[in-house]
Amino acid sequence: MDQLSRLRDWYAAQCDGDWEHSYGIKLETLDNPGWLIYIDLADTELQDKPFTPVHRGDSDADANWLHCKVKSGKFEAAGGVPNLPDMLEAFLSWAGY
C-alpha cells in the first residue's frame, strides 16, 4: 500500500466525531523548493510516543534532504521535492501504519 493510502487510513482511524474538528494534517510547499507536513498528535495514541528526530542532508545545498521531529504535539517534517514519500514514511513507520 502506498504512503498516501496509509496516511488516509491513519487519519480515518483518528476521526471519532470529535478529533477531526480540532486536529488534522497539513501539507504545504516551501520556496527552496520543498515540502512541509504537520500532523496533529493530540488525543491520539502517538501523543506521548517517543520519536527520534531525523536529519538528512542540507536544505541549502542539496535537493535531497529531510528533517523530521515531534514538537508541541505535532509531527513536523520538511524535505526536498523528491522526499515527500520519505517524509510520509518517517511518520507512518513510527505510527505503525
DSSP string, 26-88: EEEEETTTEEEEEEE-TTSTTTT-----EEES-TTT-SS-EEEEEETTEEEEEEEGGGHHHHH
pLDDT computed for residue 90 by the predictor: 98
CA 21 to CA 11: how far, in whole Å?
12
CA 93 to CA 97: how far, in whole Å?
6
49: pLDDT strictly greater than 80: yes
Q: What is the mean pLDDT of residues 25-47?
A: 97
SS3 call for 18: coil
Residue with more model confidence, 59 or 91: 91
pTM for the model: 0.94
Domain boundaries, the chain: 1-13+23-56+77-97
